[in-house]
Amino acid sequence: MQSFGATFFLLTVVLVCCGPTGTTASYRLGVGRADCTGPPVEIGFMGYGEFSQRGQGIHLRQFARAFIFEDSDGSRVVFVSADAGMMGHAVKRDVLNLLKARYGDTYRFENVVLSGSHSHSVPSGFLMSYLYDIASLGFVPQNFDALVEGITLAIVRAHENVREGRVFLSETTVHEANINRSPSAYENNPQEERDLYRDYTDKKLVQLRLVDMADRLVGAINWFAVHPTSMNKTNRYISSDNVGYASVLLELDRNGVLVPGQGEFVGAFASTNLGDASPNIMGPKCEKTGLPCDMLTSSCPPGAGACIASGPGKDMFESTKIIGTRLYSAATTLLNAKGGREVNGPIKFAHQFIDMTEMKVPYVDPETGKQKVAQGCYPAMGYSFGAGTTDGPGAFDFRQATLTDSSFWNTARDILAEPTAEDKQCQAPKPILIASGRAKFSYEMQPKIVPTQLLVIGDIALAAVPAEFTTMSGRRLRAAVRQASVESGAREMTVVVAGLSNMYTSYVATPEEYAIQRYEGASTLYGPHTLTIYLEQFRKLMRVIARDETVEPGPWPPFEDDKQITLSTGVVFDGHPFGWYFGDCKLQPKETAYRHGDIVRVMFIAGNPRNNLMHERTYFTVERLRPDFEETNSVEQHSHRQDRWEVIATDANWETRFKWHRRSTLFAYSDIELEWEIADWIEPGTYRIQHFGYWRYILGGTFPYNGTTRNFSVQ
């Protein structure tokens, strides 16, 4: 942490021996998508840890995208990419409980991976770890339930629609879509290791393409290493950011629809080793002078402002669009080529919980060549964590690459939780700012027990990691899993790091990067050998899979649902001004015609959007009067035929935004302002905008309402 419309049909593919064209099916596959948008207003966002960054509306909705793979022996795995900041253990646990009620033991911790896309512009409050939920003032049940229900529905839809099919693996290079935001830390990795790679970040986009037996495209998973931080911490709209926009573009294109969330094809852009990979490719500069920042500390001279990196656009919206379009274009090129290598082979999986504070693994000290033992530490955050990153700077006087502490901040730290001498020695050279592993709250501040998981689909291995791995950490993990497979007598694997999966535990930097103590190293919870422990653990899981062995489940993470603190209040009631009612249009479209590039702005008397999250629906629609009815002169002839209006956009479209305004806290008056930017492809005609919502009665109950603007024209 820096710091999913309309119902759609889901398609799955099932393996049998032979398809209608004579080609052999490889797997049973399933694709599914569902809306999992969290509360769009009043809740703090996940990502930047900025208390003032609270939701005010929606730009892009959140979706969960599920993919099922099953081989001829009935071995099944599920991979889900959700437009969420990351994933929580309790979210996965409750998803599996709901699936168990439907399908028994088909879906379990071992064979299901839930991965968050890592957008920083989505609601917080679902992780059940105090430090991670602090921006939303604790646990937010409504957001937790939205994720659980949306992810479950996506998997259910995938499960219920099964067909034969095949899988292909392709790769391509994407330039000008990411940079390394901590180059000074990356450069501390061994020169001979860095010489193996051309770039400071991974530039490959890896794609799994799913087709049915008629060679029709039904799904695609794309992995590319980039932070979804094109939308910066001044943003107040829910947004799935650059990778979410890429998914929207891909699905609209392949399904031939206008509204996101519709159509059979499901396309995801999932997170991988994005820890130090930023989309702000113009690089960091001092905000007041425009001059470069100090490379090591990402700081600026006094009076020069904060060190902030920017994207390629004139603002965060354009930057999001540019980066998302580049990812979409790369994925589309691969899909159009219909090439790549077909994936064949059995499906296997392994999963184990481990207590990072108890882990001890052997390793060879690179400086002395001697065998040593790496010990996991109690979780702690370093001083440079407080500095934030160039994607979103922190507060106070913290700087990155800080290796010394201060008596002032240590005193403040010790009030919260005091680290032991062992903690300090174990975490060195990290100066501890937050001793989260020693905090005495009613529930964990950060996890100690973490999930590790490996899915194997033929010769593809998905290493599901519960953190943000840096570029080099991900490269080492891929190499370790690949080597373990070969040494166990199995096939050489193409390894994909599936980041931010199943649980969230901040970052994983290499020991060398850790020594520099930039943001990523300071946010590596379990000490300098966190990566060392993960490498050995994933080697172990690969060996278990290659040898058809079993592994103990490990210690279970604590159940802490009953201990959660919730300080964000729910909606008490909604009111409306005298002479107005919910759904009344307060600001109408202008009477003169609009043109391409114009923005239509309207406003309605509204209830609080948190009364109903409108999953699989929308808070508003942009509708066009179908051309075959436009010549009808009688308004009355139009009004009773709703099918004469065609929905061309909802609150899930890129061209739309809605913003909620609280007009009176005492009387609970509020408005919703809706915007629609008229794209070049919009045809001339007659249009209208409808708003849908729910209002809450002071004595209990919520009630639906809707409102419609007058018609307006586009020329």
3-state secondary structure 511-538: HHHHHHCCHHHHCECCCCCHHHHHHHHH
Mean pLDDT score of the chain:
93
List the structure tokens of 70: 């099953």
Q: Which strand (E) or helix (H) includes residue 438? A: none
Max avg pLDDT among 434-448, 605-619, 622-636: 605-619
pLDDT tens for 637-671 read 444 455 699 999 999 999 999 999 999 999 999 99
Q: What are the residues whose beta carbons fall under 8 Å from the beta carbon of 23, sequence distance 6 or more?
A: 166, 213
pLDDT tens for 454-497 read 999 999 999 999 999 999 999 999 999 999 999 999 999 999 99
Q: CA end-to-end span of the chain, whole Å?
A: 45
pLDDT confidence tier of residue 220, bands split at 50, 70 and 90: very high
C-alpha 313: how far from its chain's center?
Answer: 22
> Per-residue pLDDT averaged across 243-265, rounded?
98
- Residue pair 78/32 in contact (Cβ under 8 Å)? The answer is no
Q: What are the residues whose beta carbons fall under 8 Å from the beta carbon of 528, sequence distance 6 or more?
A: 427, 428, 429, 430, 511, 514, 515
3 state DSSP class of 250: helix
Q: What are the residues whose beta carbons fall under 8 Å from the beta carbon of 336, sequence distance 6 or more?
A: none
pLDDT tens for 85-139 read 999 999 999 999 999 999 999 999 999 999 999 999 999 999 999 999 999 999 9
List the structure tokens of 304: 């020069």
Percent of the chain with pLDDT over 70: 94
Nearest to 34 by CA among 83, 87, 88, 75: 83
**Predicted confidence (pLDDT) at residue 701 exceeds the cutoff of 70:** yes
List the structure tokens of 656: 């739309």
Rounded distance between C-alpha atoms, residue 409 and residue 431, angstroms:
11
Q: What are the residues whose beta carbons fall under 8 Å from the beta carbon of 442, sequence distance 6 or more?
A: 560, 563, 565
Rounded distance between C-alpha atoms, residue 333 and residue 339, angstroms:
10
List the structure tokens of 394: 């922190």
Rounded distance between C-alpha atoms, residue 446 and residue 455, angstroms:
26
**Predicted confidence (pLDDT) at residue 303 exceeds the cutoff of 60:** yes
- Residue pair 278/227 in contact (Cβ under 8 Å)? The answer is yes
Rounded distance between C-alpha atoms, residue 351 and residue 474, angstroms:
19
> Per-residue pLDDT averaged across 59-87, rounded?
97
Cβ-in-10-Å burial (0-12, 13-18, 19+) of 336 comes to exposed
Q: Where are the beta strands (DSSP E) in 191-332?
A: 204-212, 217-223, 237-238, 266-270, 277-278, 283-286, 307-310
**Predicted confidence (pLDDT) at residue 5 exceeds the cutoff of 60:** no
Active-site annotation holds for 278: yes
List the structure tokens of 162: 């099964």
pLDDT confidence tier of residue 26, bands split at 50, 70 and 90: confident
pLDDT confidence tier of residue 675, bands split at 50, 70 and 90: very high
Query: Rounded to 5 degrees, what angle do the CA atoms 295, 297, 300 make?
Result: 80
> Per-residue pLDDT averaged across 362-383, rounded?
92
Rounded distance between C-alpha atoms, residue 90 and residue 148, angstroms:
9
**Predicted confidence (pLDDT) at residue 9 exceeds the cutoff of 50:** no
Nearest to 48 by CA among 322, 236, 258, 288: 236
3 state DSSP class of 487: helix
Rounded distance between C-alpha atoms, residue 95 and residue 475, angstroms:
31
**Predicted confidence (pLDDT) at residue 20 exceeds the cutoff of 70:** no
The pLDDT score that the predictor gives to residue 643 is 63
List the structure tokens of 1: 């942490």
- Cβ neighbours around 344 below 10 Å, total: 14
Rounded distance between C-alpha atoms, residue 40 and residue 26, angstroms:
41
The pLDDT score that the predictor gives to residue 395 is 81
> What separation in angstroms does the CA of 163 have from each of 30, 195, 210, 216?
8, 45, 11, 11
> Per-residue pLDDT averaged across 283-300, rounded?
96
List the structure tokens of 546: 């290659």
Partnered with residue 238 across adjacent β-strands are: 58
Partnered with residue 694 across adjacent β-strands are: 704
The pLDDT score that the predictor gives to residue 8 is 29
Q: Which of 26, 278, 299, 310 is catalytic?
A: 278
Q: What are the residues whose beta carbons fall under 8 Å from the beta carbon of 665, sequence distance 6 or more?
A: none
Which is more confidently placed, 442 or 67?
A: 67
Rounded distance between C-alpha atoms, residue 512 and residue 186, angstroms:
8
Query: Rounded to 5 degrees, what angle do the CA atoms 392, 393, 396 make?
Result: 150
Q: What are the residues whose beta carbons fall under 8 Å from the beta carbon of 457, sequence distance 6 or more?
A: 27, 69, 77, 167, 343, 345, 347
> Which of 216-225, 434-443, 632-641, 680-689 shows the lowest mean pLDDT across its residues?
632-641
pLDDT confidence tier of residue 162, bands split at 50, 70 and 90: confident
Rounded distance between C-alpha atoms, residue 558 and residue 155, angstroms:
26
**Predicted confidence (pLDDT) at residue 308 exceeds the cutoff of 70:** yes
The pLDDT score that the predictor gives to residue 208 is 98
List the structure tokens of 133: 């939920």
Nearest to 457 by CA among 12, 43, 71: 71
- Residue pair 533/376 in contact (Cβ under 8 Å)? The answer is yes
Partnered with residue 357 across adjacent β-strands are: none
- Residue pair 259/323 in contact (Cβ under 8 Å)? The answer is no
The pLDDT score that the predictor gives to residue 14 is 30
The pLDDT score that the predictor gives to residue 227 is 98
pLDDT tens for 605-619 read 999 999 999 999 999
Nearest to 384 by CA among 374, 397, 375: 397
**Predicted confidence (pLDDT) at residue 271 exceeds the cutoff of 80:** yes
3 state DSSP class of 147: helix
Rounded distance between C-alpha atoms, residue 186 and residue 471, angstroms:
8
Q: What are the residues whose beta carbons fall under 8 Å from the beta carbon of 229, sequence distance 6 or more?
A: 2, 47, 120, 241, 278, 279, 280, 391, 392
pLDDT confidence tier of residue 11, bands split at 50, 70 and 90: very low
3 state DSSP class of 198: coil
The pLDDT score that the predictor gives to residue 627 is 78
Rounded distance between C-alpha atoms, residue 210 and residue 215, angstroms:
9
> Per-residue pLDDT averaged across 334-340, rounded?
96
Rounded distance between C-alpha atoms, residue 316 and residue 241, angstroms:
10
Q: What are the residues whose beta carbons fall under 8 Å from the beta carbon of 195, sequence distance 6 or more?
A: none
Place of tokens 């989260």: 436
**Predicted confidence (pLDDT) at residue 242 exceeds the cutoff of 50:** yes
> Which of 102-106, 412-416, 537-541 shows the lowest mean pLDDT across its residues?
412-416
pLDDT confidence tier of residue 19, bands split at 50, 70 and 90: very low
The pLDDT score that the predictor gives to residue 633 is 47
The pLDDT score that the predictor gives to residue 686 is 97
